Amino acid sequence: MSYERWARVEVDLEAVRRNVRALKGRTEPGTLFMAVVKADGYGHGALPVARAALAAGADRLGVATVDEAVTLREAGITATIQLLSEPPASAVDLIIEHGVVPAVTTRAFAGALGRAGAARGIDTPYHLKIDTGMNRIGVPAGEAHEFAAAIDSFPGLQLEGTMTHFATADVPGDWDFEMQLERFTSALARMRDEGIDPGIVHAANSPATILHPEAHFDMVRCGIALYGLHPSRDTYGEIELAPAMSVIARVTFVKKVGMGEGVSYGLTWRAVAPTTIATLPLGYADGVHRVLSNNMEVLIGGARCAQVGRVCMDQFMVEVPRGVTVDEGDEAVLVGAQGAESILLDDLAERAGTINYEMACAFGMRMPRVYR
């Protein structure tokens, strides 16, 4: 049994493949490429995006949770899957069974992972995560060599790589970025002095991949740019990216309202003259954040229509401009192009007071996805 919901996310997988090639084109040959597909591929669907990225030359996948990794494995993905942070120790058996490579930031977890590996007679690969200034997770840069030396002696473990994460890679010429890079290279040098090979060294997210070639090391980890979205205004002039996500709905209801009539909860918008109102079947539970109420537009019939009244959980309304005819079933574009007009996810994110990362994730919550 199936039907077509009148609201959908369209994902252009050719755009994903093109973006992977464009990003890889900015790295030295031989640099590994991790496609970050956490949060269900930033709302685009982790599995189809993973397949497209791998087909276009990605070497590995990055995810945030053990569930995300297991889901990809069970769907038949054989590429290396890395966890970008350390999972709970209760996950060590799942991780080993599914061949997932975790990040390590605590001795307790390293011990649990090592014991589980040793019990199976294998050395479990892991990446050491060093905190160089973001102060989120990671072994403090000044202690990384001691930490690495201590867990190097644990049985059942194998250091496959060493990583850090930047807090300000999207700001060109930022001093804090330079400081993080300096702390990272010093920590790597001290590890080598201790006789520890840091393995695959990696630090660059999308903005660092685009703006900071000096931070590419052995592998880059690209998320947002994979989806054709720019991590900041400063990357627009640097690389051509193709947005993969469009958000499309069909008009479910059209009506005339008289002067002074209000629309939606609280009647926060009122018609100043008789007008036409069209209803669309998606709302804040689909990613149209309620803060966008009375502050966004959609494209219908190639025309920009202002959203009016509060965005509801499952629906919202727009005013049809004079001279435009709209019928039930007509297509409305929230994100993407229609005729000569287009709306970027960035436009919507800015109006919502957030970033394209969050908007993309939100549109992935409940809407069906269609791939082309």
Ligand X SMILES: *Cc1c(COP(=O)(O)O)cnc(C)c1O
Q: List residues with catalytic annotation.
A: 38, 265
- Which one of 73-81, 220-228, 283-291, 347-355 is the stretch in contact with ligand X (CB under 6 A)? 220-228
Minimum CB distance to ligand X, residue 87 (Å)? 14
Among 15, 224, 335, 348, binds ligand X (CB under 6 A): 224
Q: Between 170 and 286, whose beta carbon lies closer to ligand X?
A: 170
Looking at beta carbons, which residue is closest to ligand X? 223
Chosen residue from 222, 248, 317, 320 binding ligand X by CB under 6 A: 222
- The single residue among 205, 276, 307, 315 that binds ligand X, judged by CB under 6 A, is 205
Q: State yes or no: residue 84 binds ligand X (CB under 6 A).
A: yes
CB atoms within 10 A of CB 288: 30
Closest-CA residue to 365 (of 4, 7, 26, 6): 7
For ligand X, the closer CB: 134 or 285:
134
For residues 260 and 273, what is the distance between their CA atoms, to the nearest angstrom?
A: 7
Task: List binders of ligand X among 160-179 (CB under 6 A).
Answer: 165
> If binding is defined by CB under 6 A, does position 223 make contact with ligand X?
yes
Q: Is residue 216 part of the contact set for ligand X (CB under 6 A)?
A: no
User: Considering the complex, what minimum distance in angstroms separates the CB of residue 304 from ligand X?
Assistant: 30
In the complex with ligand X, the residue whose CB is nearer, 235 or 279, is 235
DSSP state of 208: H
**The dihedral of CA 292, 269, 9, 289: what is its sign?**
positive
- How distant, in Å, are the alpha carbons of 40, 252, 271, 321, 333 from that of 277? 34, 11, 10, 9, 16
DSSP, res 252: -
Q: What is the dihedral of CA 64, 66, 72, 73, to 10 degrees?
A: 140
How many Å apart are CA 252 and CA 6, to the nearest integer? 8
| Residues in 240-279 that interact with ligand X by CB under 6 A | none
Three-state DSSP at 50 gives helix
Give, in order, the Cα–Cα distances in Å from 124 to each of 66, 84, 113, 330, 336. Answer: 16, 16, 7, 55, 44
Contacting range for ligand X; rule: CB under 6 A; set: 108-116, 224-232, 320-328, 330-338: 224-232
* Smallest separation (angstroms) from ligand X to the CB of 313: 28
**Whether the Cβ atoms of residue 260 and residue 297 lie closer than 8 Å to each other:** no
Do the beta carbons of residue 331 and residue 338 sit within 8 Å?
yes
Q: How far is the CB of 222 from ligand X (least distance, A)?
A: 5
**27 near ligand X, judged by CB under 6 A:** no
Q: Quote the least distance from Cβ 99 to ligand X, whole Å.
A: 20
Does residue 221 touch ligand X according to CB under 6 A? yes
User: For residues 68 and 45, is the Cβ–Cβ distance under 8 A?
Assistant: no
Tokens 């006789």 -> residue: 195
Which window, 16-24, 185-193, 221-229, 334-342, contacts ligand X (CB under 6 A)?
Answer: 221-229
Residues that bind ligand X (CB under 6 A): 36, 38, 84, 165, 205-206, 221-225, 231
